[in-house]
Amino acid sequence: MASDIHNPKQAWSVLIVSTLAFTVCFMVWMMFGVIGIPIKKLLDLNATQFGLLMATPVLTGSLIRVPLGIWTDRFGGRIVMATLMAVTVPAIWLMGYATAYWHFLVIGLFVGLAGGSFSVGTPYVARWFPKSKQGTAMGIYGAGNSGSAVNKFIAPVILVAFGWTVVPQVYAAIMACTVVVFWLFSHSDPAHLVPNTQSFSAQLKALKDPKVIKYCQYYSIVFGGYVALALWMVQYYVGEFGLDIRVAALLAACFSLPGGVLRAVGGVLSDKYGAHSVTWWVLWVSWVCLFLLSYPQTDFSVMTVSGPQTFHIGLNVYVFTALMFILGIAFAFGKASVFKYISDDYGHNIGAISGIVGLAGGLGGFVLPILFGALMDLTGIRSSAFMLMYGVVWVSLIWMYWTEVRRGEVMGRNDRSLQPQI
């Protein structure tokens, strides 16, 4: 791979330090997935309020992705990433001093800026590598999603030992150190800047492109769904299976960790087999897993010749975790394959397009936890979260079939009809 890169030493340095920065940013972005549990008890929140609490940082991290992608094209990823991380440090620190519900929501909006780092690092890293290797490079960078799992390893230990208020303080210190490390080991190349020939509104016209809208839909599942479930799973394990928060966080990491780390593998597979093939199989595997995860714990009675017999159907914690592990792998591959679509189709405007698609994915991560909470308050069924995700995947499968699979079959038949008959 290095032989195809103009400056391999700088390229790999940028990739490694950017992945580290993104991992820390994602860890901070997912902070409420763990500390939200004691905050929920402290403030006596219902499921919908809890969902909003967890989703608030995701909102700003999503909305800022489009301008961040455009600014990266114009000013370079190094300065934009360093500035973004530095700005979040004071907000992270202040989180430990919040006492009212609105305090958490407001500070969470500023902490959420860290989530916009994906739209900075993606075009920044990609331009250091040739097009044939961009899927792999972006997949490696995207493995920083594993910051969600890192949060589940670190936060429960700090929480149990010192209380939840210490977690934001430790995270603020980690973020500040990461800013310094990133600046020391990253590089900039003026050749990677996109000339300022289009206005902000002109670049946003890409939203009228049907392909961009479709990629937004795919990404709202594989990334938005990943973010939402990563936030939701610790409290799900605690509520559904009655586990201690440390055990719950460890098991929840079985979804978060492969969902982040294996994104690099998804990038390699997308380079080798193409974005369409990988995404198609990702959606089908997700569909099967979500169907099984949707079934609630059920007791029913059947009248037999010897009298009524009662049966129980439901996933135990081991089968549930295994399915979540598989779902995490599928989402990891899908996150990489969607951005392979973008690098293939929009290499000239990758910053703006990745920002738009990232925005859609992030908004999915914002809306879904709120809907998870609302559905649980409405139905009382925890697995209703997976029922909702199952329906969303159905939409994407049908969309992909009619716009890609079916169209490919029709074009193949037309090509054969043009061949001379012997």
- Between 275 and 375, where is the model more confident? 375
Give one DSSP letter per residue of 162-219, joined into a string. Answer: H-TTHHHHHHHHHHHHHHHHHHHH----GGGPPPS-S-HHHHGGGGG-HHHHHHHHHH
Domain annotation covers residue 57: yes
In contact, 231 and 32? CB cutoff 8 Å: yes
Distance CA 50, CA 243 (A): 19
Domain enclosing residue 276, as ranges: 2-185+206-299+311-413
Which has the higher per-residue pLDDT, 126 or 176?
A: 176
Please report the pLDDT score of residue 421 as a whole number.
44
- What pLDDT, on a 0 to 100 scale, did the predictor assign at position 353? 80
Asked whether residue 197 is domain-assigned, the answer is no
For 71, the token pair is 């600014």
Structural domain contains residue 86: yes
pLDDT value for 144: 86
Greater pLDDT, 399 or 88: 88
On whether residue 253 sits in a domain, the answer given is yes
For the chain, give the mean pLDDT: 86
The torsion angles phi and psi of 296, rounded to 5 degrees, stand at -80, 165
Is residue 3 predicted with pLDDT exceeding 90?
Answer: no
Say what the pTM is: 0.82
Q: What is the pLDDT of residue 259?
A: 81
User: What integer pLDDT is reported at residue 422 of this predicted model?
Assistant: 40
For 104-162, how does the pLDDT look when each residue is reduced to its tens digit (9 = 90+)? Answer: 999 999 999 998 898 888 888 888 888 778 778 887 888 888 888 899 999 999 999 99
Report the domain count for the chain: 1
Lowest model confidence (mean pLDDT) among 176-180, 238-242, 416-420: 416-420
Tell me the two tokens of residue 218: 């795919």
| Percent of the chain clearing pLDDT 70 (strictly above) | 90
Surface-to-core class of residue 29, CB atoms within 10 Å of its CB (0-12 exposed, 13-18 middle, 19+ buried): buried
Alpha-carbon distance of 350 to 334, in angstroms, equals 18
Residue 56 covered by a domain: yes
Of 285, 299, 243, the C-alpha closest to 397 is: 285
pLDDT at 416: 44
Decide if 233 is inside a domain: yes
Confidence tier at 196 by pLDDT (50, 70, 90): low
pLDDT of 419 higher than 70: no
Here the CATH number for the domain that contains residue 22 is 1.20.1250.20
Q: Is residue 28 part of a domain?
A: yes
How far apart CA 208 and CA 212 sit, in angstroms, is 8
Mean pLDDT of 392-406: 86
Task: For residue 199, give the amino acid letter.
Answer: S
Residue 307 structure tokens: 């009298």
| In a domain? residue 199 | no
Rounded Cα–Cα distance for residues 217 and 275 (Å): 15
